[in-house]
Chains A and B, each alone.
Chain A
Amino acid sequence: MTVTTEQELAEAVKGATGPLHICGGGTRDIGNPVVGDVLSTAGLNGISLYEPGALTIVAQAGTPVADIEAALEAENQRLAFEPMDHRTLLGTTGKPTIGGIVATNASGPRRISVGACRDHLLGVRFVDGAGTTIKNGGRVMKNVTGYDLVKLMAGSYGTLGVLSEVSLKVLPRAETQATLCIFGLDETTAADAMSAALGSPYEVSGAAWDVDRTMHLRLEGFENSVNYRVGKLADLIKSYGEVQIVDDPTASERIWVAIRNVDALAGKDVVVRMSIQPSALSEMHFATRNMFVPYENGPTFDIMTDWGGGLVWIGADANQLVDCAKVVDGEPSAELGGQVLVEYLQSQCAFSGGHATLIKGPGALRNAVPVFQPENPTVNMLSKGLRNKFDPRGIMNAGLMG
């Protein structure tokens, strides 16, 4: 089913006789597999309002991200939260939509300095599970009128309702950027160096440690200001290793597009995303490596981090998964290894705070494990309660979030 107006959308939901599988551009196939009639928002297309002087854009949920980015670029503005494009990592095709970004709260490296998608989302219109059209928030930057369902809808993966329109805060594009790199750092040193950089007054807008053990720090702004801060920051972090400076803005941007989209793990069969306290990184990496080390020669997965160590991506291919499976009884297989890896990472997060989500994996694995971190009983009760209110028939992407 494809709808072209909000009213058609409401009627489609109201008239639904069974579960619905809600999607936008279909590029973010994440979550426990959903069974149901496909309801696509791709036909809800168009920018309804764009006021560069007020830093706001309002668009229908199915509007391609590319259209929005083009409109913003013409006014020298951007979506500052730098939404991840999941196509390379997940091997999907199609056009990412603005609704898909909001529904998954997709946020990139700049999350550490300007916030996530949810922090830039000013208002939503959506159709709940009963087919009722609801609005919340608006198009102004400060709004505390009533409960903030805007945040609740961001990252709810269509399980509370189908977004029909979103309104977002946009920001000026930076005049230029530069990246500072230190090669060959271990996770502990990288975490320390990134903390030092983020704790400095130099407004670091990206701090990542890549699969190849290179640490990257990004600075953005007016040219003189960037030059000044590059010098200061290089001085601050030189004790961690030799600092290389990428001062060509195009080359610098390429680095961050690859980090944003987690290109380095695109070849992996299973990819897990963890959100943790940055200083827990080395501890977590150590514990994870130790669990698997006695059974093979070293870590059996690839790891990269963003958000100064607060966002950890772990990827494993079939061989690495077989190794993971060796820590438990039974025939070592990639399937079993996937389960072991996901459950292990989730238990680590449950222990030290944070959460782990299986972003990429075969359908069988996504059916076998909780894709999203299991919640504590009270939070789970509240989430279930909300789902019952927003979607009394339980038909909206049912089970996607567990």
Chain B
Amino acid sequence: MQMPTPNQNVLSRKAQIVERLQGVLRDGAVIHSESEVRAYECDALTAYKCPPLCAVLPTSTEEVAAVLKVCHEMGVPVVPRGSGTSLAGGALPTADCVILGVARLNSVLETNYDDRYIRVQSGRTNLSVTGAVEAMDFFYAPDPSSQLACAIAGNVAMNSGGAHCLKYGVTTNNLMGVKMVLMDGTITEIGGAHLDAAGLDLLGLICGSEGQLGVVTEATLRILRKPEGARPVLMAFNDNEVAGACVADIIKAGVLPVAIEFMDRLCIETTENYAKAGYPDCEALLIVEVEGAPEEIDEQLALIKDIALKHDPVELREAQDEEEAARIWLGRKSAFGAIGQISDYMCLDGTIPVSSLPMVLRRIGELSDEFGLKVGNVFHAGDGNMHPLICYDANKPGDLELCEAMGAEILKLCVDAGGCLTGEHGVGIEKRDLMTHQYAQQDLDIQMAVKDVFDPEWLLNPAKVFPLDSSASRRIAAE
């Protein structure tokens, strides 16, 4: 993965930059020794590493503004960082950058159950947002797999999704307002506790902009009352395509499950060995979950089971109690960990129209044979968001490159099937150079023009999202 050459003019001024930053922050908030900055050398895309110039940990919006003002004046690139769980390299540093971590901004500022929102500082973790309102039977809906660790800041930057977004939507559908700081240090608020934008929908633009337009320090999030109950049903099929057809039929039938998850044989077997969830021996497995009162769940599941029966399932298992429900979910939730036990892997994130599911799965199988790398498929089938896990050996020379090449082929396949490169992880550096497969030059130009408005000097997370040659003239002009 190519990254821009670090700016010597920044590297040579490290001492002055650190001193200026120390001047606007509390003691200990600027991390600059060679050994300590290593903690920030990568995010969850661990294949790529680069220690930053230094890292700062501000404790307020005003401190964030002060940091950005200093960096703006001194022409230093800034890479914002939430909890560092990005799978796309969204928080990967460059040697000449300041990592701006929001981890210390983690307070709940306001909860309002009448108007159903919570206002938090952006370093707060996703799960602890729900934790703050759980006692009142409310929850925050977007639930990325990393929710125990990932920060709201990163969720907003990447417009994160989760297993339950078929019903509840992704971050952008649950974000009502932000306080953010522009690269020049200007603090502004966009949106708030009301439901729609006054003028242009800048909030919609900021959500998913991968930390390239501003640093979000506070977020107003929609909270929802918990449903009375939820119950999953497990369906096993002997053919991927049949499972795919079953998904489409369920959706067409007018039921809207809260989640439809898919696992293929490799994932089923691997998780079975690892987590012992008691999954049947089959080619494809669906977990469908519905919500409501017990009688409502019965009614919906009866309909769903009727549909499934038409597709000749190997097994149909409805959770009879909490324990069985937890077991049904256990394998799915430990799938990534289980694959990680047997191999290094790269997790892709392409989305396809649900109707192309059988064709895409077949083609992924063919690619797996061509490249000689195993692929496990575990994903959110209801919305077509695939997560092929390509297994490789990090210690075998050339295997990572082979895995990347195969990943690129799969993502192109997703685009060609009418889908996109990334459904919920973001572009970061990982899919940056594939952007031209999905977008024409003019489509990328107008997006880069948006960055020109928010960050004319291209100092915020500059080497991400756009192919380096597309953004080169803008980044170089800034130096």
Contacts and interface: CB of A to CB of B under 8 A. Distances in A.
Interface of A: 51-56, 75-76, 105, 107, 111-112, 115-116, 118-119, 128, 132-136, 138-152, 154-156, 160, 171-173, 175, 192, 195, 198-201, 203, 221-222, 224-225, 228-229, 232, 275-279, 307, 310-311, 353-355, 357, 372-373, 375-376, 378-379, 382-383, 385-386, 388-390, 401-402
Contacts of B425: 144
A389 B445 CA distance: 10
Contacts of B203: 151
Given A147-B208, A378-B188, 17 more contacts: A53-B249, A105-B201, A112-B195, A116-B195, A119-B172, A132-B446, A135-B440, A140-B384, A141-B383, A146-B439, A148-B207, A225-B295, A277-B192, A379-B190, A385-B453, A386-B450, A402-B199
B196 A144 contact: no
A146 B465 contact: yes
B113 interface: yes
Contact of A140 (B165, B300, B418, B431): B418
A275 B177 CA distance: 13
Interface in B280-323: 292-293, 295-296, 299-300
A260 B350 CA distance: 37
A337 to B, nearest CB: 24
B468 interface: no
Interface stretch (B95-103, B225-233, B362-370): B225-233
A141 B453 contact: no
B333 interface: no
Interface string B401-427: 000000000000000001111111111
Nearest to A390: B446
8 contacts: A53-B354, A142-B423, A147-B209, A147-B450, A200-B225, A275-B194, A277-B115, A379-B190
A146 B427 contact: yes
A242 to B, nearest CB: 23
Contact of B115 (A128, A224, A278, A372): A278
B420 A148 contact: no
A376 B188 contact: yes
A357 B205 CA distance: 21
A311 B195 contact: yes
A68 B37 CA distance: 56
Nearest to A376: B188
Given A172-B256, A175-B254, A146 B195 contact: no
A139 B435 contact: no
A105 B419 contact: no
B196 A275 contact: yes
Interface string B149-177: 00000000011010001100110110000
Given A151-B201, A156-B200, A353 B355 contact: no
B186 A155 contact: no
Given A53-B252, A378-B182, A133 B442 contact: yes
Interface in B344-394: 351-355, 380, 383-385
Contacts of A134: 442-443, 446
Contacts of A119: 169, 172-173
Given A147-B205, A278-B115, A105 B453 contact: no
Interface string B447-458: 101111110000
Nearest to A221: B296
Contacts of A151: 172, 201, 203-205, 207
Nearest to A192: B114
B208 A148 contact: yes
B176 to A, nearest CB: 10
* Shortest beta-carbon contacts, A-B, top 7: A151-B204, A53-B248, A142-B423, A385-B453, A355-B198, A172-B254, A378-B188
A278 B114 CA distance: 8
B200 A386 contact: yes
B444 interface: yes
Contact of A383 (B170, B199, B421): B199
B165 A172 contact: no
B255 A172 contact: yes
Contacts of A277: 112, 115, 192-194
A144 B424 contact: yes
A105 B251 contact: no
B158 to A, nearest CB: 6
A149 B450 contact: yes
Nearest to B303: A222
Find the residue from A118, A132, A148 having the highest chain B CB count within 10 A.
A148
A136 B249 CA distance: 29
A110 to B, nearest CB: 12
A222 B255 CA distance: 9
A156 B447 contact: no
Contact of A143 (B195, B351, B453): B351
Nearest to A402: B199
Nearest to A353: B192
A200 B207 CA distance: 28
Contacts of A222: 296, 299-300
B399 interface: no
B60 interface: no
A144 B115 contact: no
B453 A276 contact: no
Contacts of B352: 140
Contacts of A171: 256
Contacts of A142: 161, 165, 170, 351, 380, 383-385, 423-424
Residue of B116, B138, B465 most packed against chain A (CB within 10 A): B116
Contacts of B195: 111-112, 116, 275, 307, 310-311
Given A144-B158, A199-B225, A376-B189, A51 B443 contact: no
A143 B420 contact: yes
B202 A382 contact: yes
B471 interface: no
Contacts of B454: 382, 385
Contacts of B196: 105, 107, 111, 116, 118, 155, 275
Contact of B418 (A138, A401, A402): A138
A279 B114 contact: yes
A389 B173 contact: no
Given A54-B248, A115-B169, A389-B450, A146 B444 contact: yes
Contact of A148 (B159, B194, B292): B159
A340 B318 CA distance: 62
B438 interface: yes
A277 to B, nearest CB: 4
A156 B205 CA distance: 12
A118 B176 CA distance: 13
A201 B204 contact: no
A228 to B, nearest CB: 6
B199 A389 contact: no
A145 B199 contact: no
A139 B419 CA distance: 7
Contacts of A135: 439-440, 443
Contacts of A390: 446, 449
Nearest to B248: A53
Given A148-B172, A222-B299, A277-B115, A389 B446 contact: yes
B169 A224 contact: no
